[in-house]
Chain A
Amino acid sequence: MPSHISPSSEQSERKTFSRRTFLIASSSGLLTIGIGSILGWKYLQRSISALTEAYAPPEILPDQPFVWFTIHANNTIELYVPKIEIGQGIHTALGQIAADELEADWSKFFVKQADTTRGFHGLALSTFGSWSVSSLYLPLREAAATIRETLRIEAAQRFHASSADIVMKESYATLRTDSSQSISYGDIVAGKQGTWELAREAPLKPARDFTLIGKSVGRVDIYDKVTGRAIYGFDARMPNMLYGAVARPPRYGAVLKSAQAGKAASMQGVVKIVIEQGFAGVVAERRSIAREAAKSLECVWEGGMSESQDAIDRLVTVPHNRASAIIIQERGNPQEHCSIADISSEYRTATAAHAHLEPQAALAFVRSDAIDVVVSTQMPEAVRIMIARALGVDKSIIRVQPAYVGGGFGRKLGYDVGLEAAMLSRAVGRPVHVAWTREEDMRYGYYRPPSHHRLRGKLDNGRILALEHDIASGDVLLSIAPLLAGTFGEAFADTFAIDPGATTGGLFEYDIPHHAVFFHRIKLPFFTALWRGLGLLPNTFARESFIDELAHAAGKDPLIFRLEHIPNTELGARYKAALERMHIISEWSKPLAPGRAKGIAMCVHSRTIAVEVAEVSVAEGRLRVHNVWAVVDAGTVINPNGAAAQIQGAIIMGLSSVFHEAITFRNGLAESSNFDTYPLLTLPEAPNIHIDILQGSETPHGMGEVGIGPIAAAVGNALFALIRKRVRELPFPLNPC
């Protein structure tokens, strides 16, 4: 055990916990320590402010924990973590970080989902944007180190030794000079007399002593998931519960003018028909009855969107003048050079659904003094805000228990279905479960916005001299502001007009003397917002395909061409290492099998770099992806196998966008409502995926989204290399040849 830590970059960033940020509750044989969010807040703030700048963060009290440990007499340790398990493996990663620093026995270490009943703030639970590990990495380790040192001091007193002589390992404190003198953490806790004094000094372990961080330990949730025991929002149950369903508008934005019970009133099993301002729903004894009754409500809808797809396509087009554009990146004088561009191209990406396999679902039980909600959500605070506002109650009485989430990808806010369950529960005074059908889920949420891109480039002597990228996109984050902060949020969005979500992945990271990126905000008549990686896939598709066009125009190998434009920066050095690694693992310069070709693309997201190569063939007009290689530099990786799973998943999801996914509109409503007309990528279409993870720095970066960025361009670039035809739209046409 290190009693002294040599200075590292991490050390200088360290904060020390103030005592009042620890909440210690010690009852017989049990130690529970909650660590306040004052310190965590600084880290958490990043994820929140980026999401909703308009939404003023509430005052955080020191006793609102961001993490919570409980040590039991039987030497088991529970860690309540404020991040939600959507499938990304976050509970495992956070557990590894904490258990490693605590020197805990991993086999007796259990990670649990924190909720607002335990004092956790709903915002701290927000799980978005690949930030969970990077935001909690240091705070969690500092908390665990403080507990470890506190236990060490206590053990030293027991053994009448100095702390320096106590070795902490596998949830035991052992005397260095006499290993028969050993006591478990549980026994230290159980035998503690008097109140706890926290250790003043709690050095972090140096990376070379890590036992769990960086190891591919198995997922902590896996047993429950292969045996069907894991409970999701759709699975939530309470005694005496009923089922609810809600009437849906025939067009987006239509307002419910009036509603009549109609046939539903006489249907057997209907418990109550709930008609309120702008809302009509049914509570019934069975789910099927609730759904049928909700469909038979006689509703009159007014207004709303009337457009069909051709109008949307016209709307989402980069305008020819840039009067209302916002410059998000500029260097040199690109306009002058690009006005005589060598190449100019337009790219388009379709509206896409999230298509998480678990539809939106929530169980709510509303009483006058307490509201309980069990819900599949990535953002419990959104559920609380919406319910508090709609029901006119104080937020503090609303307790949200996040369940396992059956896929989120940015869509599982839970505020809509949670509110519906709450409104229906209030009407009947019993718990009500609402789960959307696939049809509701595919139509009545929000989408990845459609985008349109215009790029112009000028070459000089085989290098890019100037480059311009105009991005036109629907809202990604600006649309969320009004949802959470009402008219203030809307005013904010209109003033701000630059959408940090829609522009994600839009910047040029290349060394180009003259370049600029312009953003054109498109206000759409339907709701668009967060989708895995936000603008990363559309923007990277356009940029990286265009870079490929320039490489071919310059007569250069696309990988070498990229290497030649790597800037002389820290990021550039990491890009260079990743590209060189890719050159080797994809056997880039080896001759290809007949009928095959490779394409390359890359991006950076949440400080993680991803370079991807796709190998494709075309048979009978059908494009097929055989192999994908990914080199990913994510800084310190907590769980390499888990990280690889994220990259594999992101590549598959990206390929699904390449091959299949487009939401189109007719008369104000999405045409697709189920997988028959909105198919996803299937197993036979899945390529082999080869992943190489570089660990380029000492801090962890994001993992959940970056992999989705380059894949579409990599496939398009490979297709071009094969058949000399450039595809400039997502999804690709069915027969791209």
Chain B
Amino acid sequence: MRLCGIFFVNTPCIFLAPYQNPMYVAAASAILAMLLFAMFWSCTMDLHINGRTYTVHCDSSEMLVWILRDDLGLTGTKMGCGAGICGSCTIHINGVPVRSCVTPVGAALGQIITTIEGLAQLGEDGTEILHPVQQAFIDEQVPQCAWCISGQIMTAAALLRDNPSPTDDEIDNALASNYCRCGCYVRIRSAVRRAAEYMRAHV
């Protein structure tokens, strides 16, 4: 059933706030129609996640967060609200941060998915090299319970890729919809600033 795959190659997830790309908005209705079609389409699908291809068997209307966590055991992506509000479930699709709790798996077919497990790189000697945002979160000792942390890190990583020198207001706005109940906000702010420095130093 590769049919689904063909349908959704390069279809952006237009309704996946907060990072909407306006150029796609016009295509929204067409894609939604395709999605609706996919919702009744239970099939075998290939997903490209963190540089690997996984085959899953499920209804394509199933939300991506559950495929990642329950089907594939990629539990680094968390779930806090299931309604697109808290940001705990943030992943990247083609580098854009999206909320996997409101993204049907069908919408991710053929796309490049990155989760917190795939953010670090492997060095030549096989050691793990953390993403600068992960390193900054360690250096600022950000996490407490850390249920929100992969969502914070994924959102911050996307921000810094697009904007290597964000102002404090830009940091606040980019992460304004990522709740942290443990109240790590002050440290999140410093860690994102610090990560930006790390990334600039690397370029």
Q: Which residues of A approach B to under 8 Å, CB–CB?
A: 86-89, 216, 218-219, 221-223, 225-232, 234-235, 237, 243, 286-288, 355-359, 404-409, 435, 437-438, 641-642, 645, 648-653, 656, 674-676, 680-684, 686, 688-689
Contacts and interface: CB of A to CB of B under 8 A. Distances in A.
A226 B69 CA distance: 17
Contact of B138 (A222, A287, A404): A222
Contact of A407 (B115, B117, B147): B147
A686 B185 contact: yes
B184 A674 contact: no
A649 B70 contact: no
Contacts of A405: 145
B141 A684 contact: no
B17 to A, nearest CB: 13
B178 to A, nearest CB: 7
A87 B63 CA distance: 28
Contact of B80 (A87, A358, A648): A358
Nearest to B101: A438
30 contacts: A88-B144, A89-B144, A227-B117, A227-B119, A227-B128, A228-B74, A228-B77, A228-B116, A229-B117, A232-B75, A234-B79, A288-B63, A356-B147, A357-B78, A357-B80, A357-B148, A357-B180, A357-B181, A359-B79, A404-B145, A405-B145, A407-B145, A407-B182, A408-B145, A652-B185, A652-B186, A681-B183, A682-B179, A686-B185, A689-B186
B147 A237 contact: no
B141 A87 contact: no
Contacts of B143: 87, 219, 221-222, 225-226
Best-surrounded residue of B74, B82, B147 (most CB of chain A within 10 A): B147
Interface extent on B, as a size class? 35 or more
B66 interface: yes
CB-CB nearest 6 A-B residue pairs:
A228-B76, A652-B183, A87-B145, A406-B147, A87-B144, A649-B183
Contacts of B116: 227-228
Contacts of A683: 171-172, 175-176, 178, 180, 185, 188-189
Given A218-B138, A286-B70, A648 B179 contact: no
Contact of A227 (B76, B148, B172): B76
Contact of A286 (B66, B76, B77, B183): B66
Best-surrounded residue of B58, B63, B181, B187 (most CB of chain A within 10 A): B181
Contacts of A234: 75, 78-79
Given A86-B145, A227-B116, 8 more contacts: A89-B144, A227-B120, A234-B75, A405-B145, A648-B183, A649-B184, A674-B81, A686-B185
Given A653-B183, A674-B83, A406 B58 contact: no
Interface string B155-182: 0000000000000000111011111111
Interface of B: 58, 62-63, 66, 69-70, 73-83, 85-86, 88, 115-117, 119-120, 128, 130, 134, 137-138, 141, 143-150, 153, 171-173, 175-189
B176 A357 contact: no
Contacts of A287: 66, 70
A231 B187 contact: no
Contact of B181 (A229, A230, A355): A355
A231 B146 CA distance: 11
Contacts of B146: 87, 221, 225-226, 230, 404, 406
A237 B183 contact: no
A437 B82 contact: yes
A378 to B, nearest CB: 12
Nearest to B169: A684
Best-surrounded residue of B74, B120, B149, B176 (most CB of chain A within 10 A): B149
A235 B88 CA distance: 14
Contact of A653 (B70, B181, B188): B181
Best-surrounded residue of A225, A288, A651, A689 (most CB of chain B within 10 A): A225
Best-surrounded residue of B141, B171, B182 (most CB of chain A within 10 A): B182
B147 A648 contact: no
Contacts of B182: 87, 407, 649, 652-653
Contacts of B115: 228
Contacts of B184: 645, 648-649, 652
A675 B179 contact: yes
A25 to B, nearest CB: 33
A641 B138 CA distance: 13
B27 to A, nearest CB: 27
Contacts of A243: 70
Best-surrounded residue of A219, A226, A227, A684 (most CB of chain B within 10 A): A226
Contacts of B141: 216, 218-219, 222, 641-642, 645
A650 B137 CA distance: 20
A226 B83 contact: no
A537 to B, nearest CB: 14
Contacts of B73: 237
A226 B120 CA distance: 10
Contacts of B181: 355-357, 407, 409, 653, 680
Nearest to A354: B181
A408 B182 CA distance: 9
A287 to B, nearest CB: 6
Nearest to B178: A683
Contacts of B173: 684
